[in-house]
Amino acid sequence: MTATVEIPLWLFVLILLFAAVTFASHFLFPSVRWFFRRRLERAVARLNRRLERPIEPFRLARRYDMIQRLIYDPQVAQAVADHAAAQGIPDNVAFEEARRYAREIVPSFSAFTYFSFAIRVTRWLSNAIYRVRLGHQDEEALRRIDPEATLVFVMNHRSNMDYVLITYLAARRSALSYAVGEWARVWPLSRLIRAMGAYFIRRKSRNELYRRVLATYVRLATQGGATQALFPEGGLSLDGALAEPRMGLLKYIVAAKDAAGPSRDVIFIPVGLNYDWVLEDKILTSAGRAGERRFKARIGVIMARMLRQLWLWMTGRYHRFGYAAVNFGRPLSLAEFTAAQPVEGQGAEDLPAPLSQELMGRIGEIVPVLPVPAVAWLLLSEGAMSRSALEHRLGALLERMPMAHVHLPRHSLAYAVEAALRLLLQRGLVQLERGYYLPVPAKRDLLIYYANSIRHLVPAASLPTNAADAKGYSASARS
């Protein structure tokens, strides 16, 4: 028993390593996890005292526990059995497929990442790129919301900056859980987005098992009171106008409310966003002309633009990309909306259609009117004008939109026109000829893109919907 045994050095180091890992996993790691867990709980308790709506226990559950709860849910179990029977595969294979979907969907929310890192980054990035304006919000209506209700922010989708702006502007209310598409499943971006509480969805998936796992997660999140944010349009607007709503996630939320009963209401908060300069506008309009949602943005082009903006900042020539504005609209109670629907022939499966139309109507009425969209509308609908004429026609346009939420910089028509023309001339979307401003024919589709963002707010709108139809406006303006 006391004989000496000779072993290679590498084997001895390997044995020590395994012993250290075993000791740590059985004795050290549980204590360390407990220590940091207690510190995190105290930090979250302090944070919840500052928030209007405290972070829900559902969001703070361990990701592993949430995945287990999801895949062992009775509805998922039934979907696994149905999928195995339909595909002719063993139940355990179908179960592992469901587990893979659950791991893909379930986020790993970190309060530290969200409030200590993400909020600071979104605040800095938003104000570095735009002159951010928080417009209309009914504070009294927002304060009257039942604290036990589940909040769902619904908004129009203009740019990927929407995520950044809303995260920044809603920071004092609560932590938002976004439904994000496949674009965000790129490492290391995916790790950061998961830590912020977002969950990934396959927008075009027709796999019934996947859809059941996703529906179950949305149900659990809704019943758990998690504050969510979604885009009813389902994707970025390719022409600048509001699109018809898609009802996938709304169906899951309505079903979750039906399953939960009257104990917890769901409150939808409409959000309207608009920009003087959408960073992806050329990509989106090109996709719109091609008739497909394939955004061919090369990473080299993106990096070149970022380096150019950095160089402009270093040389003191950097200017922000105009105004970005956000409005919060009238909250909508799902319980009250359901009660107001006709009883006969109206089942739970029929509710998402009128609900989505009502939500899009409320979003549309609070989309901000900004200088560039307003001036783009005037140049396309009324032809070339001098600056003084633009100021006069802008005042007349705003009078025709008494219910619209208009952001007038410095409360001055003259400055609003100046700010819009500065951006439009800088980008080559308009040109100045003999004292008159008129659209550049090759870039008219971009002007239409911006004008379309307020198209639904202008009474008796008569704007050309494509560049070909708009050519007559330039010809008449020149003559």
Q: Is residue 344 situated within a structural domain?
A: yes
In the numeric block, which tokens belong to residue 443?
């870039």
* 223/268 same-domain check: yes
Peptide bond into 188 cis (omega under 30): yes
Could you give the CA distance from residue 438 to residue 475 in angstroms, rounded to a whole number?
Answer: 10
User: So what's the pLDDT on residue 415?
Assistant: 95
* 345/225 same-domain check: yes
Boundary-marking domain end, from 35, 50, 65: 50
Boundary-marking domain end, from 10, 32, 50: 50
For the chain, the residue count is 479
User: So what's the pLDDT on residue 355?
Assistant: 93
Q: How many domains are there within the chain?
A: 3
Pair 447, 380: CB distance under 8 Å: yes
Output the domain CATH number for residue 205.
3.40.1130.10
Q: Is residue 229 situated within a structural domain?
A: yes
What are the tens digits of pLDDT across the range 369-382? 999 999 999 999 99
* 408/267 same-domain check: no
Helix residue ranges per DSSP H, 148-247? 161-169, 189-195, 208-223
User: So what's the pLDDT on residue 185?
Assistant: 59
User: So what's the pLDDT on residue 13?
Assistant: 82
Could you give the CA distance from residue 309 to residue 315 in angstroms, rounded to a whole number?
Answer: 10
Could you give the CA distance from residue 107 to residue 10 in angstroms, rounded to a whole number?
Answer: 40
Output the domain CATH number for residue 458.
1.10.10.10
* 456/336 same-domain check: no
Sign of CA dihedral 270, 275, 280, 282: positive
pLDDT tens sequence for the chain (479 residues)? 577 777 787 877 887 887 776 766 555 555 555 555 565 556 666 666 777 777 777 877 888 889 999 999 999 999 999 999 999 999 999 999 999 999 988 888 877 778 878 888 888 888 988 999 988 787 788 788 888 889 999 999 998 888 888 888 887 777 888 887 755 555 555 666 777 778 878 877 788 999 999 999 999 999 888 889 999 998 889 999 999 998 888 999 988 877 655 678 999 999 999 999 998 898 899 888 887 766 655 545 555 666 777 777 778 777 889 999 999 999 999 999 988 877 544 555 678 889 999 999 999 999 999 999 999 999 999 989 999 999 999 999 999 888 889 999 999 999 999 999 999 999 999 999 999 999 999 999 999 999 999 999 998 654 444 444 444 333 333 33
Q: Is residue 258 situated within a structural domain?
A: yes
Pair 186, 208: CB distance under 8 Å: no
Q: Is residue 300 situated within a structural domain?
A: no
In the numeric block, which tokens belong to residue 156?
């129009």
Pair 398, 347: CB distance under 8 Å: no
In the numeric block, which tokens belong to residue 232?
């009813």
Nearest to 265 by CA among 358, 173, 148: 148
Q: Is residue 217 situated within a structural domain?
A: yes
User: So what's the pLDDT on residue 466?
Assistant: 47
Q: End-to-end CA distance of the chain, in Å?
A: 108
Domain that holds residue 33: 18-50
* 203/341 same-domain check: yes
* 412/346 same-domain check: no
User: So what's the pLDDT on residue 164?
Assistant: 86
Q: Is residue 454 situated within a structural domain?
A: yes
* 423/467 same-domain check: yes
User: So what's the pLDDT on residue 108?
Assistant: 81
The three-class DSSP label of residue 133 is strand
* 225/358 same-domain check: yes
* 329/389 same-domain check: no
Task: State the chain's mean pLDDT as an integer.
Answer: 82
Give per-residue burial for 289-320: e unless 16+ CB within 10 Å, then b. eeeeeeeeeeeeeeeeeeeeeeeeeeeeeeee
Could you give the CA distance from residue 214 to residue 377 in angstroms, rounded to a whole number?
Answer: 41
The three-class DSSP label of residue 394 is helix
User: So what's the pLDDT on residue 469?
Assistant: 44
Instruction: Let me know the angle formed at the C-alpha of 210 by 205 and 215, rounded to the nearest 5 degrees.
Output: 105
Pair 355, 363: CB distance under 8 Å: no
* 201/131 same-domain check: yes
The region, left, alpha or beta by phi > 0 then psi within -120 to 50, assigned to residue 234 is left
pTM over 0.85: no
Q: Is residue 69 situated within a structural domain?
A: no
- How buried is 170 (Cβ within 10 angstroms: 0-12 exposed, 13-18 middle, 19+ buried)? buried
Pair 56, 224: CB distance under 8 Å: yes
Give per-residue burial for 94-127: e unless 16+ CB within 10 Å, then b. bbebbbebbebbbbebbbebbbeebbeebbeebe
User: So what's the pLDDT on residue 468?
Assistant: 42
* 159/259 same-domain check: yes
* 273/171 same-domain check: yes
Q: Is residue 100 situated within a structural domain?
A: no
In the numeric block, which tokens belong to residue 116?
């200590």
The region, left, alpha or beta by phi > 0 then psi within -120 to 50, assigned to residue 285 is alpha
Boundary-marking domain end, from 365, 399, 418: 365
